[in-house]
Structure formats: structure tokens, C-alpha cells
Amino acid sequence: MQLRFTKMHGLGNDFVVIDAIRQAVTLAPDQVRFLADRHFGVGCDQVLVVERPTRPGADFRYRIFNPDGGEVGACGNGARCFARFVHERGLTRKRTLVLETLGGDIHTTLLEDGRVQVDMGMPRFEPAAIPFRAPASAPLYTLEVGGETLELSVLALGNPHAVLLVDDVERAPVKRLGPLLEHHERFPERVNVGFLQVVDRHHGRLRVHERGAGETLACGSGACAAAVAGMRRGLFEAEVTLTLPGGDLTIAWPGEGHSVIMTGPATFVFEGSVEL
């Protein structure tokens, strides 16, 4: 099968975007792994597939696959790229879209300056909804990891997220603690892990270990989760700029019962085709 694709990125978080509306596409996990492979395939953090919606009210079905071949429920950086892709490739003229995902609906708005605003939905804090093994919801949880006792915020925002405060994000043990937390027994579906440094009430720095992918240059849902965790702890105002290795994202959250709004760029890199 000859597959046409577009390479895009959001702050260096890079994607292979596949139009499954104008071409017939069915991807097996081994094909996703091949596409994501940076040595033998195209290379990306995630594969995004554009499909027709399966229900009324949605404009498109937005599918997200990690490099290990598994499908996940949310990717904020990918949502921005998806929104630019369908608009600029003529699949829609609408600037505001409802995207159907495995983790629920995502609302996107393409701004006049080319940036994309994403309504990531409301964060969930109940352990069963994350999922996370805990007797009750709490602002912070204590976990034993690799011989250390860590204090974490845990929440769901399309995907499960754990957020750990650090003094210096550059020196944070992302490579060591990221995989240990991802596979911790209290996260039955694994977890994305954010290492957050609070600079001031309007600015933070963040690195994210993504489940099934490892550390990436940017993680949109991870940035939203880190911002919410900081706001719940009284460390940030209701709007904050987070600096990730790939660049800045603006995150706004009025508080519980409200959606998280993320704003950032989406960039085209190149187009190509590959034999699967």
C-alpha cells in the first residue's frame, strides 16, 4: 500500500498526519511502529489519522497512535496540527471544529495568526476516572518509586497524568523516574509524567515523559495537566505560560467545572509517501 502523509510539528512534538478520508487507510500496530521509527520509517512522536466522524455533532474523528502502536485518547499538540491540516488541505472551511477522540470531544479554533486554540475539556480528579489506584480523591498523593518517596498531583485530561514539582527542570531525573512512574502499579493504564518547575505565578518550565513515547519536546495535554496541578496548589494564576523544550504554550483554566484552554502554534514540515 502506497500511503501519502504530511509531517507536522507543534513545538517540536512531531507527527505523521494521514488523511484517511481521501485515501483508504487501515493501520495495524506494526505499521504504526514502522511509520514512527526514526531510522527505518518516517519518524515521529505520534501518528495522527484524519477520519470521518462516527456520530452526529462531530466534524472529524481524530485518532492518535503512539510509537509503540497503541491508540491513546488525547494529544493537544496533535490537535493543533490536526486543525490546521484539515483546514489548509480543504477538508473543511470551518475554523472552529469538534473533534471526536478516544478520550472524548476536543474543540479547536484556528486563529487568524495561524495559532490554534484547543478546548481540552474538563480535567478529572476522581481516581477511577484517571485511572489511578487510590481510596479517594486528594490534591496530592504519595508514591514509593525507585527507593524514593514522591509527592504527586494526579489527574486525567484525555490521558492519565502525574505531575511532580522540581526545583530545576534541566536537572530533573526525567529519564530515570519517567519510565518508573509510567509503569507504576497504581496506574493500570500507565501514565504521562510531567516534571514542573514553577518560575513565578505566570510562568513555569516543564518536561514531559509520555507513555509509550518517552520524553518529547512538547506535550500539549501534559502542559495542560501541569498548569492545572499548579493552579490547584495555588502556585499559578488562572492563565500561565509554560516553557517546554520545544517552546511556549499558553494555558488558561478558570477552575473546577471549567474546560482547560491551550493556545499554541502548528507547523507544516513536508509531505511524502511511503510503502506499507
Would you state the pLDDT for residue 146?
A: 87
pTM of the model: 0.89
Mean pLDDT of the chain: 96
> For 252-275, b where at least 16 C-beta lie within 10 A, e where not — what string?
bbeeeeebbbbbbbbeeeeeeeee
Please give the backbone phi and psi of residue 256, each rounded to the nearest 5 degrees, phi first. Answer: -60, 140
Residues 219 and 161 in one domain: yes
Q: How far apart are CA 115 and CA 84, in angstroms?
A: 9
User: Do 173 and 75 share a structural domain?
Assistant: no
Average pLDDT of the residues in 82-102? 97
pLDDT score recorded for residue 103: 84
11's enclosing H/E stretch is none
Structural domain count of the chain: 2
Q: Which of 223, 234, 187, 248 is nearest to 76 (CA)?
A: 223
Backbone angles phi, psi at 79, to 5 degrees: -60, -40
| Sign of the four-CA dihedral 215, 50, 83, 97 | negative
Q: Write down the residue that cell numbers 511509520 correspond to.
A: 35
| Domain CATH number, residue 66 | 3.10.310.10
**Under a CB-based contact definition with an 8 Å cutoff, are residues 14 and 7 in contact?**
yes
The amino acid sitting at 72 is V
Domain around 169: 127-258
Per residue in 203-247, pLDDT tens?
A: 999 999 999 889 999 999 999 999 999 999 999 999 999 999 999
Other C-beta atoms lying within 10 Å of the C-beta of residue 134:
15
Are 141 and 211 members of one domain? Answer: yes
pLDDT tens-digit series, residues 158-214: 899 999 999 999 999 999 999 999 999 999 999 999 999 999 999 999 999 999 889
| Same domain for 234 and 148 | yes
Same-domain pairing of 93 and 155 = no
Counting Cα atoms < 13 Å in the Cβ hemisphere of 5 gives: 28
Residues 97 and 131 in one domain: no
Identity of the residue numbered 83 = A
Q: Are residues 141 and 253 in the same domain?
A: yes
Same domain, 115 and 137: no
Beta strands in the chain (DSSP E): 2-10, 13-19, 46-51, 60-65, 71-72, 96-101, 104-110, 116-119, 141-145, 148-157, 159-165, 192-200, 203-210, 214-216, 239-244, 247-252, 261-264, 267-275
Q: Does 102 share its domain with 137? A: no
Q: Identity (one letter) of the amino acid at 205?
A: R
Catalytic site residues? 75, 219
| 114 in the same domain as 15 | yes
pLDDT for the residue numbered 47:
98
C-alpha span between 4 and 6 (Å, rounded): 7
Considering the domain architecture, whether residues 111 and 162 belong to the same structural domain is answered as no
* 116 and 40 share one domain: yes
How far apart (Å, rounded) are the C-alpha atoms in residues 1 and 275? Answer: 6
